[in-house]
Amino acid sequence: MVRPIIVSRKGISRRKALGILGAAAVVSGSIPTIQAVSAKQAISAKDRNRLVPIGMVPVHGVDPAQIKFRTKAPLTQSPGSMDPMTYLEHFDYGKTTSLPDGTTLREYRLAVVPLDIEVATDIVFPAWTFNGTAPGPTLRAVEGDRIKITLVNGDDRSHTIHFHGIHPADMDGVFEQVPPGGSFLYDFMAKPFGVFPYHCHTLPLKKHIMKGLYGTMIIDPKTPRPPAREMVMVMNGFDLDFDGENEFYTINGIANYYLENPINIRVGEKIRIYLSNMTEFDLINSFHLHANMFHYYPNGTMLEPNEFTDTIMLCQGQRGIVEFTYNEPGQYLVHAHQSEFAELGWIGIFDVKP
């Protein structure tokens, strides 16, 4: 078994990352394939032998005989952590009780855990996580609920949680820095309904975000949205050599995961994705769905969509709800429409079954 690389400051470049993942995702028929291309030149011969592009089905001049084995994307970021397939449809509703006035109280716990996580094949990133994954858990409540979130800081530097949405100033996770070993109780009412990122707001901010301290909070309207199969997708990047540029881009934390592990859905099934962008360094990220169109609800704060499209772009902190249905079986790509981001890991497949 190939041992994961513990990435040092000089460990990996963006060009090298391209080579590791394979620089071009190509669809041939309905079978997605990865082609290793010129970025290979940037990799030493030693590395090249160790790092076969993941998801590789050789095409366009690559001799299949040269491919000795197929290296898979990791199934989890760390031993025992939640895999991205589970994460996709996992919502933490908190410990739920009823207050005397009938209000629902939801209590959550987010622990800052520094952890080496595998974010692409054999690539380990020294992350700071909420509860052991980057992105962290998806918290979920209903508009009007009272929310209590305990932050427990298990790291040796200060952190906070800043929630997007409406709440008192002293619950904003900016001025009340939580020291190493300390804890803090965020206590506010869930409002308005919509999709909200949360993230650490300790300086230097971009470092605390790029290290992995972010996630999604969903606040449902009191009258639930129409039934649908619901998923969460957080777009992010990982800067492995800390040069202010991402080497990998992912949905939910592992490059190419949903390319190698397609998301199975059914013909006629209504899909609702709570989508957010927490990518550091890059001005925008994007979401492109193949062979279909989706309704888009910016921020999820309205019940009517304002766009019918196949591509949206989001800056860091922007988010919304994507809704679509496939009417024909087959495999359909979903990926960033910045081609480079797709080649560096932000790509997946919806496998639509009859």
d(CA 297, CA 314): 12
Closest to Cu ion by CB, 33 or 129: 129
Closest to Cu ion by CB, 200 or 289: 200
d(CA 316, CA 296): 17
- Smallest gap from Cβ 138 to Cu ion, in A, equals 19
- Smallest gap from Cβ 216 to Cu ion, in A, equals 17
- Smallest gap from Cβ 201 to Cu ion, in A, equals 8
- Smallest gap from Cβ 186 to Cu ion, in A, equals 14
Cβ atoms 39, 271 nearer than 8 A = no
Following CA atoms 207, 178, 320, 190 in sequence, which dihedral angle do they give, to the nearest 10 degrees?
A: -170
Closest to Cu ion by CB, 16 or 208: 208
Cβ atoms 344, 248 nearer than 8 A = yes
Closest to Cu ion by CB, 106 or 208: 208
Closest to Cu ion by CB, 217 or 344: 217
Task: Report the relative pairing of strands 104-120 and 330-335 from DSSP bridges.
Answer: unpaired
- Smallest gap from Cβ 198 to Cu ion, in A, equals 12
List the x/- string, 111-150, binding to Cu ion by CB under 5 A: ----------------------------------------
- Smallest gap from Cβ 211 to Cu ion, in A, equals 7
User: Can you read off the two tokens belonging to residue 33?
Assistant: 């394939």
Closest to Cu ion by CB, 130 or 258: 130
Report the phi/psi class of residue 89: left, alpha or beta, with left for phi > 0 and alpha for psi in -120 to 50: alpha
Following CA atoms 303, 307, 309, 311 in sequence, which dihedral angle do they give, to the nearest 10 degrees?
A: -90
Closest to Cu ion by CB, 153 or 338: 153
- Smallest gap from Cβ 208 to Cu ion, in A, equals 3
Of residues 143 through 202, those in contact with Cu ion by CB under 5 A are 159, 200, 202
Three-class DSSP category at 206: helix
- Smallest gap from Cβ 200 to Cu ion, in A, equals 3
Closest to Cu ion by CB, 127 or 240: 127
Task: Report the relative pairing of strands 162-163 and 146-153 from DSSP bridges.
Answer: unpaired
Q: Which residue has the tokens 């309704």?
A: 295
Residues, the chain: 354
Which residues, at least 6 apart from 200, have a Cβ–Cβ distance to it below 8 Å? 112, 128, 159, 160, 161, 162, 173, 208, 209, 213, 214
List the x/- string, 19-58, binding to Cu ion by CB under 5 A: ----------------------------------------
Longest dimension (CA), the chain: 70
Residues that bind Cu ion (rule: CB under 5 A) add up to a total of 5
Cβ atoms 40, 61 nearer than 8 A = no
- CA-to-CA dists, residue 185 to 21, 108, 173, 188, 197, angstroms: 41, 10, 10, 10, 18
Of residues 204 through 223, those in contact with Cu ion by CB under 5 A are 208, 213
- Positions touching Cu ion (CB under 5 A) are 159, 200, 202, 208, 213
